[in-house]
């Protein structure tokens, strides 16, 4: 009863496969993808705003403080009655008014130190942008090649599954006529179900990669990208002529994350100068005019004011700035070790992947030529079902493993580019 039930349900399982929603296929080269990525990616746009904001803060830090003006006016308009020596009242119709103007001047180069520290913060943000580009470009390029090689693998399933469906239909009809055994039909259907399940997993992974690529390129359409590559240039990629030590030295000079750490050290050093400048008190210079409120009329004076640095000499912030310099230097040294280690690991993995690729047979032509004859031989009962399915399995596994090897090799090469901080291995 169980076998009969599975026999009845299996044809419907693959016959009722949902049809994919038609989408436009867009041919995409890697240079075009990188150009669109740099222009449209929202994360890069957001980081550019950080740079603009930091540059604006540097301008603000250099601005001179605004002067302060205060006016004291007699609001009741009461006249001041004051007699002179002979009894006259010269102030009979005059009202009291006082004016004060004060300007704060930063001493010890505080504004200049603040401006330079803010400018260095903008430089740090610039390197952060470069590091973001480096990581996102790695994601873009690896996703591009993953989609390409997964499409090559899907072609095998798209070829095998329709052929196997025709065979299953043929043997289903032969079973109904009593010409073949039930176990043969069940085994064919089981293998077909395995192929369809594997293909569904690949299609799901491909959809996720396509979604990632759309996000990276800021593409809101429902189009499916068709990566266009040059197989010859990919095949000829090699680490020959690129010694590991040379790449490591280049990474120490070019890696944006390391440059950001070094720029942070300089920023903290400038911050220490700023804190020392803040320890020097600012000078307040003012002018006062008092019409009638002093012991003689039209009183004019110059005022000078300065805070006496007895208790607060900004010593806490200075000590903190020194500690932050030490922290930034330690982080920069640690990052340099990480950079060299990244290059070493990426180089060794790429070397092993390329060596395996070069020593692996990449020709699937014999399998492709035999597929039709194997199909006919099985139909004519010249080979058993075991031999028939073994050939399908061997052909499928060979193509999958080869495309996986190719994708891993390109990912290893892109990881070298990521670790160095520039594209030293390029197949486009």
Instruction: Say if 228 falls within a structural domain.
Output: yes
Task: Categorize the per-residue pLDDT at 87 as very low, low, confident or very high, splitting at 50, 70 and 90.
Answer: low
Task: Categorize the per-residue pLDDT at 91 as very low, low, confident or very high, splitting at 50, 70 and 90.
Answer: low
Instruction: Say if 126 falls within a structural domain.
Output: yes
User: CATH number for the domain including 177?
Assistant: 1.20.1600.10
Q: How far apart are CA 150 and CA 215, in angstroms?
A: 19
Q: How far is CA 418 from CA 140, 147, 149, 151, in A?
A: 12, 19, 21, 25
| Tens digits of residue pLDDT in 7-41 | 343 443 433 344 444 468 899 999 999 999 999 99
Q: Which of 89, 205, 110, 196 is nearest to 149 (CA)?
A: 205
User: What average pLDDT score do residues 172-178 get?
Assistant: 82
Q: Which of 416, 271, 263, 245 is nearest to 335 (CA)?
A: 263
**Which residue range forms the structural domain that includes residue 379?**
26-65+111-280+315-420
Instruction: Say if 378 falls within a structural domain.
Output: yes
| Count of domains forming the chain | 1
- Tokens representing 63 are 């601005």
Instruction: Say if 195 falls within a structural domain.
Output: yes
Instruction: Say if 303 falls within a structural domain.
Output: no
| Tens digits of residue pLDDT in 243-297 | 999 999 999 999 999 999 999 999 999 999 999 999 989 899 999 998 887 777 8
Share of the chain above pLDDT 70, in %: 86
Quickly count: other Cβ atoms within 10 Å of residue 95's Cβ: 15
Least confident of 248-257, 337-346, 379-388, 409-418: 379-388
Instruction: Say if 252 falls within a structural domain.
Output: yes
């Amino acid at each position: 009863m169980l076998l009969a039930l599975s026999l009845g349900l299996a044809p419907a399982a693959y016959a009722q496969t949902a049809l994919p929603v038609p989408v436009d296929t867009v041919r995409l080269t890697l240079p075009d993808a990188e150009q669109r990525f740099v222009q449209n990616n929202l994360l890069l746009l957001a980081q550019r705003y950080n740079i603009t904001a930091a540059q604006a803060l540097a301008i603000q830090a250099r601005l001179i403080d605004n002067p302060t003006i205060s006016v004291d006016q007699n609001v009741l308009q009461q006249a001041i009655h004051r007699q002179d020596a002979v009894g006259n009242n010269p102030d009979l119709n005059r009202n009291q008014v006082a004016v004060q103007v004060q300007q704060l001047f930063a001493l010890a180069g505080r504004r200049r130190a603040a401006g330079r520290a803010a400018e260095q913060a903008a430089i740090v943000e610039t390197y952060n942008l470069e590091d973001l580009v480096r990581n996102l470009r790695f994601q873009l390029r690896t996703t591009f090649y993953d989609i390409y090689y997964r499409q090559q693998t899907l072609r095998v399933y798209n070829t095998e599954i329709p052929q196997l469906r025709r065979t299953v239909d043929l043997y289903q009809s032969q079973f109904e006529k009593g010409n073949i055994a039930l176990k043969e039909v069940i085994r064919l259907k089981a293998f077909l179900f395995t192929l369809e399940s594997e293909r569904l997993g690949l299609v799901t992974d491909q959809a996720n990669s396509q979604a990632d690529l759309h996000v990276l390129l800021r593409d809101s359409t429902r189009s499916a990208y068709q990566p266009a590559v040059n197989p010859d240039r990919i095949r000829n990629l090699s680490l020959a002529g690129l010694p590991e030590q040379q790449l490591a030295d280049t990474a120490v000079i070019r890696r944006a994350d390391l440059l950001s750490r070094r720029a942070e050290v300089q920023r903290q050093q400038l911050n220490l100068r700023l804190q020392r400048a803040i320890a020097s008190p600012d000078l307040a210079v003012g002018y006062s005019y008092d019409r009638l409120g002093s012991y003689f009329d039209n009183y004019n004076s110059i005022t000078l004011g300065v805070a006496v640095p007895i208790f607060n000499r900004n010593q806490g912030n200075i000590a903190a700035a020194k500690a932050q310099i030490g922290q930034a230097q330690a982080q920069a040294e640690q990052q340099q070790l990480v950079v060299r280690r990244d290059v070493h690991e990426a180089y060794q993995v790429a070397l092993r992947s390329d060596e395996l690729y070069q020593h692996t047979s990449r020709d699937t032509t014999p399998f492709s030529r035999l597929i039709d004859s194997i199909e006919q031989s099985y139909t004519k009962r010249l080979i058993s079902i075991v031999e028939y399915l073994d050939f399908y399995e061997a052909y499928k596994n060979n193509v999958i493993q080869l495309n996986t090897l190719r994708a891993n090799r390109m990912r290893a090469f892109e990881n070298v580019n990521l670790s160095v901080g520039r594209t030293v291995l390029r197949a486009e």
